[in-house]
Structure 1
Amino acid sequence: MQDYKNSQINRKLKEAITTFLNSVNSLCPKVTRAELNYLESGLTVTELKSKHFYIQANTIQKEIGFVFSGLLRAFYVDKDCNEISVNFIREDRYATHYSALITQTPCKYYFQCIEPSIIVSLPYKHIQDGYNKFPNLERYGRLVAEEVLKMQQIRIESFLFANAEERYLDFIKENPNLINRVSISYLSSYLGIDRRSLTRIRKKIAYHSF
């Protein structure tokens, strides 16, 4: 029985690594087998339970995490000790405070698992060495940075140009599989909407959808 469990675990870990490498190839199709092998040589896979932290605030990140399965929440604690959600990291997304990672300065956010999660981690030093050795990996890093910047810009503009209901509807549109996986408390702080107001918005939309 123990051997069977171990084989299941090993199969899941291999699947996680394969999924990560496929995501690299999808984002940067010119990447070579040698470059993928280099990335794979530095990978580790971590299984975390719900409520466990992948990154602690005020620490320097030594690796970037690719979420194979599960869901994490990035948040900070304000001066009144409220947890303010800033991101939800689902499958096939990266768990990192990117600007802090590339500057190797302390992360401003906590990254905590909402669900049990399997995360593929790639060390920062291994990434930087790869950029120097392989042109396509440098291009891959730039493409990841562009994706992060695009998502940050969308979030900033949502607060500038969208009202509360529009922000909620945009969230549903962009993350249809998250709406039943994220608590209303987490979601209200992420969207910058009072919990009671968000509840009214959800009831209104549910009513009009019938």
Structure 2
Amino acid sequence: MMDTFDQFHQALLALNPRITPQEWNYFRQGLTQHSLVPKAFFIEAGKPNQLIGFLTSGLIRGYYLNQAGEEITTAFVPENSWVTDYPSLLMGKPSRYYFQCLEPTTLITVTYQHIQQGYDQFMGFERNGRLIAEAILHEQQRRIESFQFDSAEQRYLDFIQENPSLFNRISLTHLSSYLGVERPSLSRIRRKIVGL
């Protein structure tokens, strides 16, 4: 059975097949495993974020509080996915988001400082950092564009097609917030699709 660090290594190789054994050995020295219980926070709003995480099991929800104090879901991060708040990471400012476990979650983390030191030690190491960043930013950009160009119904259809394993693991309240629709509207969309 693959251990969590091997799982991280495989994910890194999937992003960058050219990672060298020396680069991986350096990466491995900076990795830490965390086991978090449901409702525990990986990142909390108001606190600076120094970590990039990779989930080996479990599920994390990203959200922020709007001016009315309502939780607005921005992300679901399942196993074999990367998680961080890049603006907080890069600028050293407090995060504006919460990343909270919905399930028992195991993740591997590396500090941004460790990655930066790798840039200085290995000529090709920047590619690793860039590809992790691109994987995270790709998901964020896809979400932004879905709100710009897709209907609520299309966002729902895309979500269930792209995340079949998540559908029974998240609440309708969190899903409706993520899709940007009221829960009764989500129920109507679901009834309509079932009736097609």
TM-score (norm 2): 0.95
2:191 is equivalent to residue 203 of structure 1: yes
Aligned equivalents of 1:145 and 1:124: distance in 2?
A: 11
Q: Does 1:171 align with 2:159?
A: yes
Separation in structure 2 between the aligned mates of residue 134 and residue 170 of structure 1, nearest angstrom: 40
Q: Is the 8 A contact 2:49 2:95 kept in 1?
A: yes
Q: What is the aligned partner in structure 2 of residue 54 from structure 1? A: 42
Distance in 2 (CA, whole Å) between partners of 1:67 and 1:115 is 12
RMSD: 1.3
Which of these residues, 96, 118, 126, is aligned with residue 108 of structure 1? 96
The equivalent of 2:3 in structure 1 is 15
**Aligned partners of 2:133, 2:30: CA distance in 1, in Å?**
20
Deviation, 1:55, is: 0.9
Say which SS state the counterpart of residue 108 (structure 1) adopts.
Answer: coil
* Per-residue CA distance 1:133-173 (angstroms, 9 max, x = gap): 12332101111222222222211111111111001001112
For residue 179 of structure 2, what is the amino acid of its counterpart? Answer: L
One-letter code aligned to 1:26: A
**Aligned-pair distance for 1:176?**
1.5
**Runs of 5+ consecutive residues of structure 2 not aligned to the other structure:** none
Do residues 72 (structure 1) and 53 (structure 2) align?
A: no
For the residue of structure 2 that corresponds to 1:105, the secondary structure is coil
Question: Hey, what does 1:147 align to over in structure 2?
Answer: 135
Query: Which 4+ residue blocks in structure 1 deviate beyond 4 angstroms?
Result: none
Q: What SS class does the counterpart of residue 135 from structure 1 fall into?
A: coil
In the alignment, structure 1 residue 189 sits paired with structure 2 residue 177: yes
CA distance in 1, matches of 2:16, 2:28: 16
Are positions 1:119 and 2:107 aligned together? Answer: yes
Residue type of the partner of 1:159? F
Give the secondary-structure state (helix, strand or coil) at the position aligned to 1:180.
helix
Q: CA deviation at 1:126?
A: 0.8
Q: Deviations over 1:52-105 (max 9, x none)?
A: 111111111121111110000010111111000000111111121112212222
Mapped contact 1:28–1:136 kept (Cα < 8 A) = no
Larger Rg: 1
Gaps of 5+ in 1: 1-10
Corresponding residue SS for 2:46: coil
Match of 2:147 among 147, 155, 159: 159
TM-score (norm 1): 0.89
Measure the CA separation in 2 of the matches of 1:149 and 1:68. Answer: 20
Alpha carbons 2:82, 2:132 under 8 Å: kept: no
Separation (CA, whole Å) in 2 of partners of 1:119 and 1:150: 20
